Structure 1
Amino acid sequence: MNNNQMPPDFKKYDFTMASLLKENTLTRYRTCILQNIENLKKDRLYYSTPINFNDPFDTLLYANYFRILDDVAENLNIGMENYLKCLKEKDKFLASFGIAMWYGNKKDDFLESFFQSIHNAAKELKESLRNNARIICFSEDYLSMLMWSHYADNHKGFAIIYDRDAIANADNFTADNTVIKKKPLLRPVNYVEQQIDLTEELEEYVRAYRMKTLGDVTPPQCHLSVEKLRTTLLEKSQDWSYEREWRVIPRHINLENSSNLSYMKVRPKAVILGAQCERNNQKEIIDICRKRKISVYKTEINYWEPGFKLVVIEPNPNI
């Protein structure tokens, strides 16, 4: 059967028109839960916290704990003697306690406790970006079989098509509906072999902000830049490259505090129903799109050609 002899139930959509879906657009895959349908009505896209993403490495700061602890131990051995001498002039009682700990039989206990606190601080920092950043994810591909399966409830959901420039220029809001003046950043994800190594930067951060002194060794200047944190937000394993992902990320990233980004408002360019979207959900979404003059299409399994492909068709007008 050729394309001119397709069954009437599978009228193939005009791909000269469907190409408009690809032109400078990004796709957001959605399940047909009430919240997602309500957000479609309101033109809202809510930010997510990376700690809830399905990739455990996503936005996870990498640091080598063992190297950090080795450096800390070296600094302690270099500076502790002079530190205790200086402390003796300020607080004899505290100095005598420190001397007893450092030179006595409690040194191992002291070091274990100290190293544990360093370890906990570094671990907390590694997780902080995943807890405090806010991200909205998109894809360049609106016909990805895997994306429809993973993020649109096994093709039972829908996909929203947005103009890329509209996303970049959209208004963003806090949870109390205050407009955020400075726009967040829209950037493509880079797929890499390994994570960026921030061992040195996290050690500096712990030294500078979590532990002001190690003996009398001066805390180093911290070089954990916003640019390096952005890199962490925008790099993923090559295993995820099929997603062809873009992200909206905070312009300013703070490890100690959560981003105040809550949602953005941007009008969709089109909506595509999944190949297995249930009839009642199809009807509700089509009604929303028709009332709001948003183009609506549907994916369908390509029954008339081999190749495991989805095609875009016109939705059933009788739904």
Structure 2
Amino acid sequence: MATIETFARPTWLYRYRSIGSGLLNGTPAGEKKFTEEMDAILNGYVWCARYKSMNDPMEGLYKASSKVKKHAQYNDFIKSLRNEKLTLGIASFSETWNNELMWAHYADAFQGMCICYSMPALLSGMPEENSFARIAYGNKPYYLALTGMKNDFERSRAVLSTKHLSWAYEREWRLFSPTVGKAPHAPNAIKSIYLGARVSKKLRDTLLEMVKPFDLRVHTTEADGYNIVKKRTYEA
């Protein structure tokens, strides 16, 4: 079972994804993106990427304490930490499905989807070496000390669980995997899929046909003033 580093946890986690709006135009990039995202849904895994591929250029920053800087093996310590950060795989989730900025930034300007996961099912269905952490938002980078962490994996995870306060609207949780790649989860982890307000009928129907074998709901959405609301629910 995967572990969790917090005293409180949400019942649901949401993952905003682009599903290749170019699919309708027959573009190779659009088809590739759609295939990748549907493969993850149909085969029960989450893709964990390198932190360098994420959209915040300040990912992974930290401030070393004076004791760390004076340590006899400081250079080796920092090199080992850097290598561990590059080895880790990360997948991002949110506590909410109806944040308009998240739809705009991570779901292809409302042409993508938001996948709803059961957090208990995610935790129980993943290997022990995987872990979840809620992002800590603040005005200063992570303060790196010599004590409190058992190894480079824990230190790297702590550094990569800290972001500037301006990102707090994302209400982010992160899945950490020891390596980049697929993190398998239990078949029942996905509970529903929300489709963006700009998803075409053709793309919606294609997705509905593909998820028919699964016990989940597909919700279409629309804008109601400045709110994102459910429009219609399909039972797969």
| TM band (smaller chain) | 0.7 to 0.9
TM normalised by structure 2 equals 0.75
Confirm whether residue 190 of structure 1 aligns to residue 177 of structure 2.
Answer: no
**In the alignment, which residue of structure 2 is the partner of 1:136?**
91
**In the alignment, which residue of structure 2 is the partner of 1:171?**
126
Q: 1:261 to 1:315 in 2, by over 3 A?
A: closer
Q: 1:168 to 1:135 in 2, by over 3 A?
A: same
Confirm whether residue 312 of structure 1 aligns to residue 230 of structure 2.
Answer: yes
Once the two structures are superposed, residues 141-165 of structure 1 have per-residue CA deviations (whole angstroms, 9 ceiling, x without a partner) of 1001011111111110111101010
Aligned equivalents of 1:270, 1:170: Cα separation in 2: 17
The structure with the largest helix share of the pair is: 1
Aligned equivalents of 2:42, 2:155: Cα separation in 1: 37
Report the Cα offset of residue 223 of structure 1. Answer: 7.6
Report the Cα offset of residue 225 of structure 1. Answer: 3.6
Once the two structures are superposed, residues 198-249 of structure 1 have per-residue CA deviations (whole angstroms, 9 ceiling, x without a partner) of 3x64xxxxxxxxxxxxxxxxxxxx9864444332122111111011011122
Q: 1:288 to 1:197 in 2, by over 3 A?
A: same
Which blocks of at least 5 consecutive residues in structure 1 are unaligned? 1-22, 76-117, 173-181, 202-221, 251-257
**Aligned residues of 2:137 and 2:162 also touching (Cα < 8 A):** yes
Deviant stretches of 4+, over 4 Å: 121-126
Report the Cα offset of residue 287 of structure 1. Answer: 1.5
The structure with the largest strand share of the pair is: 2
Aligned equivalents of 2:166, 2:77: Cα separation in 1: 27
Q: 1:271 to 1:152 in 2, by over 3 A?
A: same
**Aligned residues of 2:110 and 2:196 also touching (Cα < 8 A):** yes
Report the Cα offset of residue 183 of structure 1. Answer: 4.3
**In the alignment, which residue of structure 2 is the partner of 1:211?**
none
Equivalences for residues 23-42 of structure 1 within 5 A: 24-32=11-19, 33=33, 34-42=35-43
Q: 1:271 to 1:316 in 2, by over 3 A?
A: closer
Aligned equivalents of 1:44, 1:316: Cα separation in 2: 23
Equivalences for residues 6-17 of structure 1 within 5 A: none
Classify the secondary structure of the residue corresponding to 1:276.
coil
Aligned residues: 206
The one-letter code matched in structure 2 to 1:148 is: W
Which structure has the larger Rg over C-alpha atoms? 1
Report the Cα offset of residue 125 of structure 1. Answer: 4.7
Classify the secondary structure of the residue corresponding to 1:197.
strand
Once the two structures are superposed, residues 46-81 of structure 1 have per-residue CA deviations (whole angstroms, 9 ceiling, x without a partner) of 11111111112223343489x94xx59xx8xxxxxx
Aligned equivalents of 2:183, 2:205: Cα separation in 1: 26
Q: 1:245 to 1:300 in 2, by over 3 A?
A: same
% identical equivalent positions: 22
Confirm whether residue 283 of structure 1 aligns to residue 212 of structure 2.
Answer: no
**Aligned residues of 1:60 and 1:130 also touching (Cα < 8 A):** no
Aligned equivalents of 2:163, 2:227: Cα separation in 1: 26
Aligned with residue 237 of structure 1, among 164, 168, 175: 164
Aligned equivalents of 1:142, 1:185: Cα separation in 2: 22
Classify the secondary structure of the residue corresponding to 2:89.
coil
Aligned equivalents of 1:132, 1:239: Cα separation in 2: 27
The one-letter code matched in structure 2 to 1:136 is: A
**In the alignment, which residue of structure 2 is the partner of 1:259?**
179
TM normalised by structure 1 equals 0.57
Q: 1:127 to 1:273 in 2, by over 3 A?
A: same
**In the alignment, which residue of structure 2 is the partner of 1:274?**
196
Aligned equivalents of 1:159, 1:45: Cα separation in 2: 13
Indicate the larger mover: 36-45 or 147-156.
36-45
Aligned equivalents of 2:135, 2:54: Cα separation in 1: 15
**Aligned residues of 1:158 and 1:274 also touching (Cα < 8 A):** yes
**Aligned residues of 1:61 and 1:232 also touching (Cα < 8 A):** yes
CA RMSD of aligned residues (A): 3.0
Equivalences for residues 121-160 of structure 1 within 5 A: 124-125=79-80, 127-160=82-115
The one-letter code matched in structure 2 to 1:49 is: R
Classify the secondary structure of the residue corresponding to 2:212.
helix
**In the alignment, which residue of structure 2 is the partner of 1:95?**
none
Once the two structures are superposed, residues 278-305 of structure 1 have per-residue CA deviations (whole angstroms, 9 ceiling, x without a partner) of 2222111111233323111011111xxx
